[in-house]
């Protein structure tokens, strides 16, 4: 029996977790350096200086931080524990850049490659039509000119096995291609 690789969109679910916030002086630096995939993918590690960030504090803000959070519209940050188990999958198409957060060890994920495993024959179809033979080694990636992150079933399996927090997943391929409605949002349970 052949197992078909599944592809999910991954998004941050900050519900119940304290968010990270860049210190005011680092905000423009953060937005400039961590460009979206629409503007390029040059590696930053050789010139990177850790960003100064804080955990947002307040009466109505949860005290716990997630294993994965979002620091810009197109940048996820992973705790060191998440990097230990997902690092190889993340590094296949990006780099991990240290962030300075008091009491926490986080790394910003910066995509340096944007592979395109889509089926060109189905470019006009709604949704995402991938070619399975192009998905080898693609466990966490962004498409060219697309802000969405994608994760494979292998990524999701490791994420669940280690009971990581902060992400939600929605299946995008192959089952999502079988009808006009998207399958239900899958939120990993801890």
Q: Is residue 59 predicted with pLDDT exceeding 60?
A: no
pTM of the model: 0.84
Give per-residue pLDDT as tens, 2-38.
Answer: 466 899 999 998 787 888 887 755 566 666 666 555 4
- For the cut 50, the answer to whether the pLDDT of residue 183 exceeds it is no
CA distances from 140 to 76, 108, 116, 131 (A): 12, 14, 12, 16
Task: Work out the widest C-alpha separation in the chain, in whole angstroms.
Answer: 55
Please state, in angstroms and rounded to a whole number, the distance separating the CA atoms of residues 174 and 4.
8
Sign of the torsion formed by the C-alpha atoms of 153, 158, 76 and 16: positive
At residue 149, the pLDDT reads: 94
Based on its alpha-carbon atoms, the radius of gyration of the chain, rounded to whole angstroms, reads 17
Confidence bin at 66 (pLDDT 50/70/90): very high
């Amino acid at each position: 029996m052949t197992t078909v690789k599944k592809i999910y969109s991954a998004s941050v679910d900050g519900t119940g977790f304290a968010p990270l916030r860049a210190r005011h002086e680092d905000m423009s630096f953060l937005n400039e350096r961590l460009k979206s995939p629409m503007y390029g993918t040059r590696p930053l590690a050789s010139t990177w200086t850790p960003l100064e960030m804080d955990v947002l504090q307040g009466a109505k803000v949860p005290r716990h931080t997630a294993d994965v959070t979002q620091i810009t519209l197109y940048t996820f940050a992973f705790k060191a524990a998440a990097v230990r188990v997902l690092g190889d999958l993340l590094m296949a198409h990006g780099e991990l850049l240290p962030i300075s957060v008091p009491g926490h060890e986080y790394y910003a994920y910066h995509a340096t490659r944007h592979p395109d495993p889509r089926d060109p024959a189905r470019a006009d179809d709604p949704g995402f039509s991938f070619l399975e033979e192009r998905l080898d080694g693609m466990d966490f990636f962004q498409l060219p000119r697309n802000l969405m992150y994608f994760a494979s079933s292998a990524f999701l399996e490791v994420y669940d096995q280690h009971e990581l927090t902060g992400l939600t997943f929605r299946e995008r391929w192959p089952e999502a291609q079988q009808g006009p409605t998207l399958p239900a949002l899958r939120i990993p349970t801890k």
